[in-house]
Amino acid sequence: MGLKINPGTIISIQPHALHRDPDTFPNPDVWDPERWQVPITSPAHRQMQRMLMPFGYGQRMCTGMNVAWAIMRQVTASIYREYETSLDEGVWFDADGELASKDVKHENRRRKKKNLFPDGATTNGLENPVGNCLIFIMLLVSFYLRWISGIQPSGGTDLASVFRNCAKPSERPSDVRSAMRGVGKQALQ
C-alpha cells in the first residue's frame, strides 16, 4: 500500500504542477477568478485551498509571504478608506462569501480627505496611505534606533527616557523630509 521512499531521498513540492492540475483547478491555464465562487464549505473549494501555494511551502517557503499578505490587506483597506462602495440593485452579498451575480456593478464615490496629522502637519505631498505608512515606518525606525542607543553598558536600559524623548511634541515630524532627517545617525552618536 502506498509508495516506499528510501531514507535520504529528497522530496520536493512543485507548486507549478499543483496549480495546473485540471482535477483541482478546472481549465488551469485560463484566467478564471470565478472558479473560487463555489461554496466555501464545498470539497472543491477545500481542495483548491489545500493546493494553492503561491509562496511555496515548508522550510523554504517565501520569507516575504507575510509582507505580501499585509500589503494586499493594506491595499484593500486603502481602497475602502478612500472610496465608498455599494452594490448595484438586485445584487446582494451572501454570508457565505459569494455574490449572487457575476456582473457586479457598483457605485464608487471618493471619500473626503481627513488630515491624519494633528496641528496642521502635512505629509509633504504624500497625502495617501503609502505616504502615511512611510512616515509610520520612519517613526518606528527612529524609535528603534533611540531604544538601541538607550541600552546601557550594564545591560540595563532606560526605557522611560526613550518613551519620554519620543513623545516630545517638538520632535513630531511635520513632513517626510524632517521625519527622515537624522534617522540612522542617532545610533552612531
Q: How many CA atoms lie within 13 A of 34 on its CB side?
A: 8
Instruction: Return mean pLDDT, the chain.
Output: 67
| In the predicted structure, residue 181 carries a pLDDT above the cut 60 | no
pTM for the full predicted model: 0.37
Please indicate whether residue 120 or residue 51 has the higher confidence score (pLDDT): 51
Give residue-wise pLDDT tens across range 132-167: 566 666 666 666 665 555 544 444 444 444 444 444
**Residue 166 among known ligand-binding residues:** no
Alpha-carbon radius of gyration of the chain: 25
Where would I find the H helices in 4-114? Answer: 15-19, 43-51, 65-82
Residue with cell 463555489: 38
| In the predicted structure, residue 17 carries a pLDDT above the cut 60 | yes
Q: Are 150 and 161 in contact (CB under 8 A)?
A: yes
